[in-house]
Structure 1
Amino acid sequence: MNWLLVIIGAMAGAPLRYLTDRAVQLRHDSVFPWGTLAVNVTGCLILGLLTGAAASGHASSHLQLLLGTGLCGALTTYSTFSYETLRLTETGAGFYAAANVVASVTAGLGAAFAGVSIAGAVWPG
């Protein structure tokens, strides 16, 4: 049963990742990977909310598998972040590569902390 929840979540997360990445990237005339940044930060926020909800007893293990492992696992992508950062460096866009690393780590951690804080305000433990 658990594996089915992960599959269902991933079936939603993978196309959502692709469509969001394309929609965001089409709106920016830049080599910076805005689409990947957007999906990764969104995934961090969702995981933060889910973590906060679970800590207060408002998210079951099934919901964690569905949304955390399945949806966010397919939505976010560390491998694409790494690849795009490497490509930026290889093409001489070192500033964008460094900005991608700093923005991804800072915004991702910030979104995760924000999600936990929001969940704590909504569902006090």
Structure 2
Amino acid sequence: MTPPEFRVDPDVDLRVPADRGELAAHPAAVLAAIAAGGVLGALARTGLQAAFPHPPTGFPWATFGINVAGCLLIGLLMAVITARPTGPLVRPFLGVGVLGGFTTFSTYVVDAQRAVAAGAPGTALAYLAATLVGALLAAWTGDAVAGRLLARAGRGEPR
């Protein structure tokens, strides 16, 4: 298990004295891990969106797929790092950086606004609802699948 002095959680509330210690111990390393991961995630997202463009009135399948896949991976990651000890920068790099840079809920809102402005409010509403439901189900599925696989691996069953 990782000693408490090496655990890093970038999702801290700096008004809570205990949370200040985690980030204060390695602030440059945490920020560097988040930045490096964010660059990789944003590049992957941008590449997929460029490969699969959509007209303003069309359903933004690339952004939808990115957000749903990203939420699935976040669910998997959080289950794994909760169950198994990891290095102090795994969550900042992969969770906040790579997957935070990969998912794009700001583009989600812009896509919906553009669809409404282009005269396709039905597409916008369908996209907003499908992304919300899909992302929540994907995160839950990722967590559930990882939990089952980790439980099976812990009992020595074949993967």
TM-score by length of 1: 0.89
The corresponding residue for 1:82 is 109
After the TM superposition, which segments of 4 or more aligned residues of structure 1 sit over 6 Å from their partners? Answer: none
What secondary structure sits across from 2:125 in the alignment?
A: helix
Percent of aligned positions with the same letter in both sequences?
Answer: 31
**Unmatched 5+ residue regions in structure 1?**
none
Q: Find the residue that maps to 1:55 and give its secondary structure.
A: helix
Query: Which residue of structure 1 lines up, in the alignment, with residue 137 of structure 2?
Result: 110
Structure 2 counterpart of 1:36, from 63, 82, 105: 63
| Mapping for residues 1-125 of structure 1, pairs under 5 Å | 1-25=29-53, 31-124=58-151
RMSD of the TM alignment (CA)?
A: 1.8
Native 8 Å contact 1:50 1:59 kept in 2: no
The range that moved more, 89-98 or 57-66, is 57-66
Q: Larger Rg: 1 or 2?
A: 2
Q: State the match for 2:6 in structure 1.
A: none
Q: Which has the higher contact order (CA 8 A, sep 6+)?
A: 1
> What are the superposed Cα offsets for residues 54-92 of structure 1, whole Å, 9 maximum, x if unpaired?
221254442111111000111111111001101111111
Contact 1:49 1:118 in 2 (8 A): yes
Shift of 1:109: 0.6
Q: Which amino acid aligns with 1:20?
A: L
Q: Whose helix proportion is higher, 1 or 2? A: 1
Residues 63 and 14 (structure 1), Cα distance of their counterparts in 2 relative to 1, 3 Å cut: same
TM-score w.r.t. structure 2 length? 0.71
Amino acid aligned to 1:44? C
